[in-house]
Structure 1
Amino acid sequence: MQRNNKLRMLIYCAMFAAITGILAQVEIPLPLVPISGQTLAVGLTATIIGSRYGAIAMIVYACLGAVGVPVFAEAKAGLHILVGPTGGYIFSFIISAFITGLILEKTKFTILNAMIANTIGMIITLTLGTIQLKYVADLSWTTAIGAGVTPFIVVGLIKAYLASVIGIKVRERLLKADLLTDVSRDSEKTIAA
């Protein structure tokens, strides 16, 4: 039974890595960093499958892009994207998914908690992404923040809200259908043991 649950969760990881690649192609081009659906996918992933598996899904996503599968924004791929100006955003997805899921696992999977967790995840993504953007593109802090943070705040809050509402509803339905392992109960068992 536990082996089946782990296999199912790993299938979800692969699925959410693919969803992230698909949503990455939904974008609004901007001069340095495009607005894309990637962060919506990160929030959905963490809200639905939690910290550990959410982070694994984002590692799979980054690895797929690194080896040449065109899953990054604008159907780009390759290691040069990860070490380039926008690579910090992609690396931050791993940390963001983990922290977002962890907050929900330590509190409760509700829309309000998910909104708080996804907003924190957005802040992590924007912060880490902007740091790499600043240093790799050799920008001033003002220019880096203007290009890497400011255009994404309102859109990021909208995506955090959507990830929270959709993610919690999907999670509830998957749990009800017994198609998802309740990671919050698993972490409680681990703590009690």
Structure 2
Amino acid sequence: MRSDKVRNMIVCAMFAALTAVLAQIEVPLPIVPISGQTLAVGLTATIIGSRLGAVAMVLYACMGAIGLPVFAEAKGGIQILVGPTGGYIFGFIVTAFVTGWVLEKTKFTLPWALVANTIGMIITLTMGAVQLKYVLDMTWTQALASGVTPFIVVGLMKAFLASWLGVTVRHRLVQAKLLPNQSKNNQSPAA
């Protein structure tokens, strides 16, 4: 039992670190850059599920909150969380939980992972746009135009990539008995 807790702590730390690394891959845009953070969130939830995925994202947010340069553009600090882009980071926690939960209640297959990751993308973009609106005192139209619309196409591409890679990696880790099978319906990624 204790070894499971230690393993879970290590897994969460690894996925928080993966998110920090992928956050540094970015395409700059005027208000909100496109980064690899959301890809990491989708991979995390698809591979390790709802509970551990959400914990990994809480850990990621906490690492940034104390000043570690883990957010996009190697930024850190509480000011990022309460600033214009903080809603996206808070959204990562909800996204990881919901994405993993959908997969746990259905199947860890590519089609279901794509559904789950698309729902996750919508959650992240919605939470990001809400905070963007209030922090920058924007109208809803402005917040959606700058915080959602530019990210839809690339978000769908990242959702597909997270789904495909995540299901493949997860399936191999389950086969190797490094991860438990959390799905209600045990299916291979091709199903």
What TM bracket, shorter-length normalisation? Answer: over 0.9
Shift of 1:146: 0.9
* One-letter amino acid of the counterpart of residue 19, structure 1: L
Superposition deviation, residue 179 in structure 1 = 1.1
Task: Give TM-score, length-normalised by structure 2.
Answer: 0.94
The match for 1:188 is none
Q: Any conservation in 2 of the 1:5–1:181 contact (CA below 8 Å)?
A: no
1:183 deviates by: 2.8
Deviation at 1:10, TM superposition (A): 1.8
Fraction of identical pairs, as percent: 68
TM-score by length of 1: 0.93
Aligned residue for 2:183, secondary structure, equals helix
DSSP 3-state at the match of 1:109: coil
Query: Which amino acid is 1:181 matched to?
Result: P
Opposite residue 49 of structure 2, the aligned amino acid is: G
Give the RMSD, CA atoms, in angstroms: 0.9
Q: C-alpha offsets along residues 159-183 of structure 1, whole Å, 9 cap, x if unaligned?
A: 0000000000000111111111223
More helix by share: 1
Q: Where do residues 13-162 of structure 1 align in structure 2 (5 Å cutoff)? A: 13-162=12-161
Counterpart residue type for residue 115 of structure 2: I
Q: CA deviation at 1:8?
A: 1.5
Question: Match of 1:64, as an amino acid?
Answer: M
Following superposition, the deviation at residue 6 of structure 1 comes to 2.8
Q: Tell me the amino acid that sits aligned with residue 64 of structure 2.
A: G
Structure 1 runs not aligned, ≥5 long: 186-193
Alpha-carbon distance in 2 for matches of 1:9, 1:100: 18
User: What are structure 2's unaligned runs of at least 5 residues?
Assistant: 185-191
Residue 141 (structure 1) shift: 1.2
Letter in 2 for 1:23: L
Alignment-mate amino acid for residue 140 of structure 2 = W
The one-letter code sitting in structure 1 at the alignment partner of 2:131 is: Q
